[in-house]
Amino acid sequence: MRVILAKSAGFCYGVERAVELAKKTAAECGGCVMLGDLIHNTHVIAELEDLGVRKAAVPQDVREGETVVLRSHGERREVVAALEARNIHCVSAACPNVQRIQSLVAQAEAEGRQSIIIGEPHHPEILGVASYCSHPLIFSGPEDVWAWLAEDSGRREVPVTVVAQTTCIRELFETSAKILKKECTNSKIFDTICNATHKRQSEAAFIAGQVDAMVVVGDRKSANTKHLTEICIERCPRVLQIEKADELSPDFFNGCSVAGLTAGASTPAGIIKEVYATMSEEIKTAENGEESFEELLNQSFKTLNTGEKVTGIVTAIGPTEVQVDVGAKQAAYIKSSELSDDPNVKPEEILKVGDEIEAYIVRVNDVEGFAELSKKRLDAVKVWENIEQAVEDKTVMEGIVTEVNKGGIVVSVKGVRVFVPASQSGMPRGADLETMVKSKVQLRVTEVNRARRRVVGSIRSVADEARKAAQEEVWNSIEVGKHYTGTVKSMTAYGVFVDIGGVDGMVHISELSWSRIKTPAEVCKVGDTLEVYVISFDPEKHKISLGVKDRSVNPWDMFMSKYHVGDVATVRIVKLMTFGAFAEVVPGVDGLIHISQIADRRIEKPGDVLSEGQEVDAEIIAVDEEKKKISLSIRALLAPAAEENAPVDAE
């Protein structure tokens, strides 16, 4: 077994410069003060304190006349100003790369540009950089960028200057910068990630992909060490982050043929050398240690370690768990809740005794002799792999909308949370996204950051693609008279627009009903389903005229078959004119009640007696079949009553 040591492991130029500057200042001044941790490494801090570098937790702890060394991450501008105002000499140990970022945001401020910083919001470096402009925006990654853009479309017109934390994961910055460059009309992008950081991360990723176990050395507060660990976990099944050599154990290297070692930018060479030597000794112990009969017997069983993948055989299926033989001394089982991301699925529906199953080891209890497994989590890892591949292949995936959050919605795709910005949800601007919760949607994954467990997707792109295909299908097959089942999309005073499968057609108000109507709302509303047919279409102008009226039914023929002159009909007043009133006899056929035929007395206007929408009885007194006109009379029905009440002439 061998150990591969990363060539880039350990102090970067900025950290080494800060440590040497602190030592030199302490020697020249007979001691000095460091404000906070000069670098993120407790062992180096302790060494500096032994050399006379006193640590002050807050600026108020620095005494007037003292010399203070400002940390490598940089310090807030207002803190420096306050110290200097108290006659305190400040020596800046800020990394030159950090100083460059501070200058960039200060320049952006002077130019009236919005500064955007990609990094960890509460990291000292970010807090220091942010102090060089009035209203900085700090984004952890692309999800925050999308949320900010979705809140206000006007933000795309704002001139922005984009920088990154020196230790930012490159994929995180590049994805965020790509969005801002595409969406914002005036953007300046500065790649301020330290070259040493990028080199260290790339080398760690490469080594982690070649080894069975990976050790990352660095302070647990160190951002770049944490990022190294995240990168290694993606590529190596067994990763251990430590601060010093005594945290190593031979058990960690059991079964390994090759191990890797890297370290964060704040880790001194002495600690790395000690860890490297200890790893070599631990490996020898793991390989060559004398073993008792009991140990040899135990080794005949498979060793189970939390976080590893294991393959076993289903031996029993119960209502709450599935028992699995994984060839180990521990009894292994999978809870029903850890079988699938579908909470309604039953174990017996997806497994049977004798099936081979792969799962992750969630917990090992050697005292009680059991191991808890999870198939769901292993499936989730495979889903991540599928999602990463889906980005390259532009594959359409399916999921369930689980919640609405700031700037968009969250879709569960086989257990993985996919953030969909509001602008990519397929819903109109300002629409209530809560209506999408629990609905099944199709989406295309646009960005993946597995280290941050962040995925961004677009429902709109899939919907637009489907709509485009549907539109092509409609235009390729459309013809006059063809019938469609459509959905009312919008309404105007003169008609409605109906979606007939990706293409909107117009139904004029006159084509909505045989009856005379004032507004489309009298017969339909948005969302209604309508049976329509094509009256005409223009492919070049992309216009379609639709109708709803059943042309097989002729309202005039219906009237002629039902009524004759002298018949009495119950009619509905549809329009009042100065000379009379039009009344609907049957849907699509109106008759005129002349003002002289409305009452048995003289009236000034029809509205004195009648109102629109009123139903009255009227006699059909004339029919012009050629001109399809009907004359009606209410007075004709009132005349007999008037005659009965007339006085009798005396003889």
- Annotated catalytic residues are 125
Return the residue matching tokens 């005229």.
545
Beta bridge partners of 537: 544
DSSP assigned state of 436: G
Beta carbons of 35 and 68 less than 8 angstroms apart: yes
CB 301 within 8 A of CB 340: no
Closest CA to 141 of 321, 407, 526, 319: 407
CB atoms within 10 A of CB 259: 25
Residues 448 and 413: beta-carbon distance below 8 Å: no
Looking up tokens 């699509």 gives 588
The amino acid that residue 136 corresponds to is P
| Cα separation, 146 vs 259, whole angstroms | 40
Is residue 279 within 8 A of residue 259, CB to CB? The reply is yes
What single string gives the DSSP state of each residue in 477-495? Answer: H--TT-EEEEEEEEEETTE
Reduced 3-state DSSP string for 522-573: HCCCCCCEEEEEEEEEECCCCEEEEECCCCCCCHHHHHHHHCCCCCEEEEEE
Check: CB of residue 141 under 8 Å from CB of residue 171.
no
**Cβ proximity of 116 and 163 under 8 Å:** yes
Give the Cα separation of 203 and 266 in Å (integer). 17
Q: Which of 364, 349, 346, 351 is nearest to 314 (CA)?
A: 351
CA distance 571 to 614: 8
